[in-house]
Amino acid sequence: MRKKIVAGNWKMNLEWETAQQLFNAIQTIKVDDVQVVVFPSQPYLIPLINQNKSTVSVGSQNAYAKDFGAYTGETSFKQLKSFGVNYVLIGHSERREYFGETNQILKDKVDACLANEMTPVFCCGEPLEVRNSNEEIDFVRTQLTASLFHLSADSIKRCIIAYEPIWAIGTGLTATSDQAEAMHAAIRGFIAEKYDNATAESISILYGGSCNEKNAAELFACPNVDGGLIGGASLKYDSFKQIANSF
């Protein structure tokens, strides 16, 4: 059975006192068979891990593919692993757009993440102009092929994929459940085509485009949607708890 996951991406939000209070509240969320993951700002990783007394996992929003070296301002997967981080976001649309992360850079990050026995949450998705041109399926296939499909079947089974339609991030727009299911089914189909059905059926695919407490239950009811990568709604305990309970 595929793992059900609700992950909160806090992005560059919250001052420390508020972040600590929110995390303490999130630690009380317990939903059978649902893994809750929080991706806080980088300075909060160690203190939140140290105060974590729950089944919630704390993940990193980013990492650098080299283990060590003269890379000022960067943090490596090896360093993150050394203090207990198990999940890392790779390829979020904001990293691609604002920081110029290419498919090759993301491929290297995926390899480094897996080499350090961590779980990559690999993000993919199309901008509005691609959706309007009805080219979203090919666009996402290209992202997966370039950054993930060099992996062996055993390695890709250790990955989580998050589909984030870029046109629905922070805009208030959300893909309909039919749109989300169509893309998630297509992604699973790409994996089955490249590997096999068993591999495809073992990989959790999350929806990440303005998922909130109002639409989560409908989205999570889709056969190929295994949870959500939550942005703004993860900054409010009541909203995030309701999303986690939406299964």
- The 10s digit of each residue's pLDDT in 191-202 is 999 999 999 999
Does 150 qualify as catalytic in the annotation? no
Listed in order, strand segments (DSSP E) in 48-195 are: 57-58, 87-90, 119-124, 160-163
Q: Which CATH architecture has domain 4-244?
A: Alpha-Beta Barrel (3.20)
pLDDT at 84 over 80: yes
Q: Which of 81, 149, 164 is closest to 110 using CA atoms?
A: 149
- Catalytic residue selected from 94, 126, 136, 164: 164
- The 10s digit of each residue's pLDDT in 102-141 is 999 999 999 999 999 999 999 999 999 999 999 999 999 9
What is the structure's pLDDT at 175? 86
Proportion of the chain above pLDDT 70, given as a percent: 100
Where exactly are the structural domains of the chain?
4-244
β-pair type (119-124, 160-163): parallel
Does 164 qualify as catalytic in the annotation? yes
pTM, rounded to two decimals: 0.97
* Three-state secondary structure call for residue 57: strand
Q: Give the confidence band of 83 by pLDDT, cuts at 50, 70, 90.
A: very high
What is the structure's pLDDT at 210? 87
> Token digits for 128?
């509005």
